[in-house]
């Protein structure tokens, strides 16, 4: 099976210095996310989850450490090249959908492709495929305000996948949804990650959701600690 690493972080240190105070938020974080894998990132508020996602998403640089996206070391690329890799290889889903309100669902999925240089006709075709994948092909012409919270988040997932990324970064993707809708959106996200063979790094405070992902990594004192796999369901003893 093709399960190559889509994200590799090694020795990630992130130091903030403010008015003579030094804060080492990340102190040597290590992490690998493979194709088709969902990895949960948990930890208390302020532990550094968002900081780690920013670094993994090439929105920030670590103080020291190496970042590889789909096997390529991007640590020393200049800002222009990092932006290019980010557009081409990374999709983002946030707690709030951040769809452009004046555009239709389809246009919201078309736009990132056009920014990446894809022709309009191909971008439209792919947007329709993605909207079908998230079960919203009949709603493509609707603006976000006419969609439910779960539908908006499904469009945000379609948009994140618009440029066929290697890596999906999600920050509390179901945090703003009621439990039933959250369940549907999570199921859809899981199915898409498996099917598209994207690597997904998902920060969440929802431990129940985290346990259903392939692995759970907890941010503790600036490093990542892997939770032990859930014990297999007890096998009934033979009579
Ligand atoms: N630009 C910055 N300058 C100084 N300190 C920062 C900066 N960004 C984050 N921090 C600090 O780094 C620490 C980690 O913040 P971060 O947002 O990564 O935590 P988190 O685990 O994502 O929290 P939450 O679960 O509440 O979103 C916090 O103490 C925060 O104040």
Q: Where are the domains of the chain?
A: 35-62+76-226
Alpha-carbon distance of 40 to 205, in angstroms, equals 10
Q: Where are the beta strands (DSSP E) in the chain?
A: 5-18, 21-34, 38-42, 64-69, 72-73, 90-93, 167-171, 199-203, 215-220, 223-226
Task: Decide if pLDDT at 239 tops 70.
Answer: no
Question: Which residue owns the Cα nearest ligand 1 atom 24?
Answer: 45
Best probe residue, ligand 1, of 48, 60, 201 (max atoms within 8 Å of C-beta): 48
Alpha-carbon distance of 111 to 171, in angstroms, equals 22
Write phi, then psi, for 80 (nearest 5 degrees). -60, -45
Radius of gyration of the chain (CA): 19
| 35-62+76-226: CATH number | 3.40.50.300
In short, whether 2's Cβ falls inside 6 Å of ligand 1 is: no
- Mean pLDDT of all residues belonging to the chain: 91
Question: What residues contact residue 56 under an 8 Å CB cut-off, 6+ apart?
Answer: 7, 9, 31, 67, 167, 169, 201
Instruction: Give the predicted TM-score (pTM) of the model.
Output: 0.91
Q: Which atom of ligand 1 is nearest to the CA of 48?
A: 18
How many Å lie between the centroid of ligand 1 and the Cα of residue 46? 5
Confidence at 233, pLDDT banded by 50, 70, 90: very low
User: Cβ(140)–Cβ(106) under 8 Å?
Assistant: yes
Confidence at 177, pLDDT banded by 50, 70, 90: confident
User: Cβ(14)–Cβ(48) under 8 Å?
Assistant: yes
In short, whether 207's Cβ falls inside 6 Å of ligand 1 is: no
Question: What residues contact residue 116 under an 8 Å CB cut-off, 6+ apart?
Answer: 87, 88, 163
So what's the pLDDT on residue 91?
95
Question: Which residue owns the Cα nearest ligand 1 atom 28?
Answer: 46
Q: Which of 1-5, 45-49, 89-93, 209-213 has the lowest mean pLDDT?
A: 1-5
Question: Which residue owns the Cα nearest ligand 1 atom 3?
Answer: 16
In short, whether 25's Cβ falls inside 6 Å of ligand 1 is: yes
So what's the pLDDT on residue 225?
95
In short, whether 51's Cβ falls inside 6 Å of ligand 1 is: yes
In short, whether 21's Cβ falls inside 6 Å of ligand 1 is: no
User: Cβ(186)–Cβ(209) under 8 Å?
Assistant: yes
SS3 state of residue 43: coil
Alpha-carbon distance of 176 to 180, in angstroms, equals 12
Question: Which residue owns the Cα nearest ligand 1 atom 8?
Answer: 51
Alpha-carbon distance of 56 to 219, in angstroms, equals 14
Question: Which residue owns the Cα nearest ligand 1 atom 4?
Answer: 16
So what's the pLDDT on residue 230?
59
In short, whether 16's Cβ falls inside 6 Å of ligand 1 is: yes
- Model confidence pLDDT, tens digit, residues 112-166: 999 989 999 999 999 999 999 889 989 999 999 999 999 999 999 999 999 999 9
Cα dihedral 23/207/198/156 (nearest 10): -90
- Model confidence pLDDT, tens digit, residues 25-70: 999 999 999 999 999 999 999 999 999 999 999 999 999 999 999 9
């Amino acid at each position: 099976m093709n399960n190559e690493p889509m994200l590799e972080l090694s020795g990630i240190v992130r130091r903030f210095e403010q008015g003579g105070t030094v804060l080492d938020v990340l102190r040597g974080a290590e992490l690998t996310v493979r194709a088709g894998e969902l990895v949960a990132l948990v930890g208390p508020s302020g532990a550094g989850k968002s900081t780690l996602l920013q670094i993994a998403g090439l929105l920030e640089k670590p103080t020291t450490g190496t970042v590889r996206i789909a096997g390529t070391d991007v640590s020393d690329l200049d800002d222009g090249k990092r932006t290019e890799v980010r557009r081409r290889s990374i999709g983002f889903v946030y707690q709030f959908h951040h769809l452009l309100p004046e555009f239709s669902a389809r246009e919201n999925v078309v736009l990132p492709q056009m920014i990446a240089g894809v022709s309009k006709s191909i971008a439209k075709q792919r947007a329709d495929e993605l909207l079908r994948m998230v079960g919203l092909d009949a709603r493509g012409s609707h603006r976000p305000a006419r969609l439910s919270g779960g539908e908006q988040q499904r469009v945000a997932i379609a948009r994140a996948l618009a440029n066929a990324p290697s890596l999906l970064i999600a920050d509390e993707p179901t945090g703003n949804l009621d439990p039933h809708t959250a369940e549907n959106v999570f199921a859809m996200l899981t199915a898409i990650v498996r099917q598209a063979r994207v690597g997904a790094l998902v920060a969440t405070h929802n431990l129940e959701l985290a346990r259903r992902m392939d692995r759970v990594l907890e941010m503790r004192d600036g490093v990542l600690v892997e939770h032990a796999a859930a014990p297999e369901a007890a096998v009934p003893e033979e009579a």
